[in-house]
Chains A and B, each alone.
Chain A
């Protein structure tokens, strides 16, 4: 084993070496001096010196140096380094001590590794959870915030540890519920609205920490914004449908009562009323048909009967059906078909309906004397049909909503034209079940362009 005397002096100190040396020196001197009194003291000293040095050397090698090594290793362990092994393999007490300490270190190392593993696993689980987690201790101070909550609430988990919850999640109700769960040790499920960074609704489940001496509460965040929005859409839809159904019904009922009250005898009036009733009934039927069609496509009850069809034929057919109403309004209707359009796999009836709806809208919302063009062509791996009109156009804020069920830019005008408010929703859904899409551009007062795409 290599070591320098300077280092040895520094780590052990001079005192033990000197005292060992002196002790042994004096012992031998006395031993020698006792029987042979003729020898002088100098001779005795000279004689015992080598023995003393030898013994001291042995002592140093066998006891002091190994003990020093063990002390060093123990200090290393205290500092957290459990990798260091004490390399003493002797068969005495010192060797035993070294082996025990080595064993202690390796046991400790395993325990620490287990705990670290456990901690990492917990960390990984918390980090990869889709739900947000906030945990607080019994005093309401933040113990833990997982990345989902960090993102959702725009806070930093590291900076929020140990702070009071109100400093971290500034939300009056959230804090109130948390305290409620903490004080009463109760499970709570509440919804809270978070405003920043984006307005969102979270369903939060507060659970008291069980099996922990220090108490506390865990709050689980689940984003339910979309769910609530869908529910709201559905409620709006039901309200709208009831309204749409009630309007013609009220009218029919009114005329029926008038007829029963005696208007039946006035033949001219009766005929006029009946005509109105018939028109209203037709509107009701149309609405119910459209609702039915939409629901069928949406719920995938009716699958498209796909066969190779030629868009030219479909457009031609639709133009022949609607050509009359266009010319009634003095609208110039032009068609332009790209040559050699390939056939597309689609349900002919459904696609006919798409083009009818688009062209019918164009005619409805274009002034007398306007122009409408229907184009069909190929755009990469897609076939498109484009209906462009010079009509009243759609305001920008409504553009994204025109494909919603029963959404109308101008309720009064749409009803006047006999629309059900479902036409474009049906178009969108038909194209979607075909794997296609629809786009719209418009400028208010100048006209709109609807482009339907079908994949090849």
Chain B
């Protein structure tokens, strides 16, 4: 394979990752939207859409493995292939968490969401989505500063999560009738917090890709 063809296939892998990333961003948005509006149709769409994300995941992973096996890249080229796999794994986990959120919507039908801390969920989701977007932007532009800045946002998500956790527990103690809703709310906030953590992993992968350093940003 010529250098040109090699670069082209690396770029193709990167673009595939971006495509998958856009699907994951949409899945996160839709799942939270379905949870907030108790919209079962949207939730079902997220669950069904995960198949396509899984297919893409396997496809791109194969491409990465193939390029490592046949081209035996070294130094930065190797890092590009390895980071590709790392980012793919994170994205795939995020998509799974979105499916989990959509499942919670399904399970909650008929239980109006009247637990107060639910108001924090859209904000959490927005931040988590922004982190995924920034992570992918940093990946496209090989932007270490952006990756670092985006990882800092994770602290805010963790902070909201701990608040939601405490408030929901308090609500459940106060009014045992909302225990079901409260339990699902705890799940959903946890999933979002995990999504943000996976986004941080993307940031770390970008830093590794550019500098070759491993850095714990979480």
A binding-site residues for B, Cβ under 8 Å = 164, 166-167, 170-172, 175, 193, 195-196, 199, 397
Contacts and interface: CB of A to CB of B under 8 A. Distances in A.
Interface residues of B, number: 16
Interface in B114-169: 119, 129-130, 133, 136, 140
Contact of A167 (B15, B26, B119): B15
Chain A binding surface SS class: mixed
B18 interface: yes
B171 to A, nearest CB: 14
Contacts of A166: 15, 18-19, 22
Given A172-B19, A172-B23, A195-B26, A167 B140 contact: yes
B29 A199 contact: yes
A172 B11 CA distance: 17
Given A170-B136, A196-B133, A397 B119 contact: yes
Interface in B85-119: 119
28 contacts: A164-B11, A164-B15, A166-B18, A166-B19, A166-B22, A167-B15, A167-B18, A167-B140, A170-B18, A170-B19, A170-B21, A170-B22, A170-B25, A170-B136, A171-B22, A172-B19, A172-B22, A172-B26, A175-B19, A193-B26, A195-B25, A195-B29, A195-B129, A196-B129, A196-B130, A196-B133, A199-B29, A397-B119
A193 B23 CA distance: 12
Which are the 5 A-B pairs with shortest beta-carbon distances? A172-B22, A170-B22, A166-B15, A166-B18, A172-B23
Interface of B: 11, 15, 18-19, 21-23, 25-26, 29, 119, 129-130, 133, 136, 140
Contacts, number: 32
A167 B140 CA distance: 7
Contacts of B23: 172
A166 B136 CA distance: 12
A195 B135 CA distance: 15
A180 B149 CA distance: 37
Given A167-B140, A170-B18, 16 more contacts: A164-B11, A166-B15, A167-B18, A170-B21, A170-B22, A170-B25, A171-B22, A172-B23, A172-B26, A175-B19, A195-B25, A195-B26, A195-B29, A195-B129, A196-B129, A199-B29
